[in-house]
Structure 1
Amino acid sequence: MPRGAARVLGLVVGWLLVLAGLAALVLPGPGLLALVAGLTVLAQQYAWARRWLRPVKRKAFAAAAQGVQSTRNITFSVSGALGLVLLGVPWIVQPPAPGWWPLAERWWLPGGWSAGSSLILSGVLAGAFIGYSIRRFRPGP
């Protein structure tokens, strides 16, 4: 890939990861870790990204380490990741609205496959990050 195209691709990927990380701070998903990934990519090009990377990475890794310190935390985290995946399936399958649904049919599972796939992707990424955190931060026996 030519140098200019590689730079543009890196910038696009970095900014998409930063935006996804910022969104995932308030939405379901591993926000701090996506933010670290995006800043890591952008740090190749920008000094400001290198400055921001260290404190964000420290905070993300501290949260990841704290999240796998106990079996209870791991259980809740894995349950949440699995819940996101299971929650996304109906959006992709699009079953008809049940009889108890009080709103119009168009308000049943709004967003369609894009909402469902983003929920599933968030759950899968969260599961991968949980696995990484367990391997990296979980104290041995």
Structure 2
Amino acid sequence: MVYRRHATRGALMVVGGVVLLAGLALLVLPGPGMLLVLSGLLILSRAIPSVERFVEPVRLRAVQAAEESVTSWWRLTGSVLTGVTLIGAGVLWIVETRLPFSGWSTGLGLVLSGLILFALLVWSHRRVRARRAARTGPRNPPEN
């Protein structure tokens, strides 16, 4: 029973760390880096409770950054390419045994990071669209 708790905590730390590192990389690359940083911190806070104090300030900045990440086509394209690269690298790390730290755990972490990136992009895009629709009103107003 104790081993399972330690294994779960270790897995949360590894997955949270991978997501956090991917988010930090995306802070300098095009993509919603702050959202991945937030996701990584949320996962890590389940394993390390003291990390929770960083969540709210990052959450506020992440929402702002998420909206910015889908406002132009080149940022959106860069984010999609980054997600595809993460998933491709994850598959490569699972299949190729000669790579450093190769194996299913590293590969799965990368694939999961890519999938999280795509989920966050969809969420960001819907949020921005909803805000624009709220500001401009309905696209086709009913005729009198």
Q: Cα distance 1:126–1:77, how it changes in 2: closer, same or farther (>3 A)? A: farther
Query: What per-residue deviation string (whole Å, max 9, x for no partner) do you get for residues 75-131 of structure 1?
Result: 343333456579x6xxx9xxxxxxxxxxxxxxxxxxxxxxxxxxxx78876554332
Aligned residue number for residue 75 of structure 1: 73
Code of the aligned partner of 2:44: L
Alpha-carbon deviations, 1:9-60, whole Å to 9, x = none?
1111111222222222123443211111110011113343111011111101
CA distance in 2, matches of 1:124, 1:131: 11
What root-mean-square deviation, in Å, do the aligned CA atoms of Structure 1 and Structure 2 show? 3.5
Match of 2:9 among 4, 7, 10: 7
Query: Which ranges in structure 1 are unaligned for 5 or more consecutive residues?
Result: 93-120
- For 2:58 and 2:83, locate their aligned partners in 1 and report how far apart those are by CA, in whole Å: 27
Give the fraction of aligned pairs with identical amino acids, expressed as a percent: 37
> When you count helix as a share of all residues, which structure comes out higher?
2
Relative to structure 1, the CA distance from residue 124 to residue 76 in structure 2 (aligned partners, 3 Å threshold; closer, same or farther) is farther
Unaligned runs of 5+ in 2: 90-110, 139-144
Residue 33 of structure 1 pairs with residue 35 of structure 2: yes
Cα pair 2:32 2:117 within 8 Å, conserved: yes
- Give structure 1 regions of 4+ aligned residues with deviation exceeding 4 angstroms: 82-86, 121-127
Equivalence for 1:136? 127
Number of matched pairs: 109
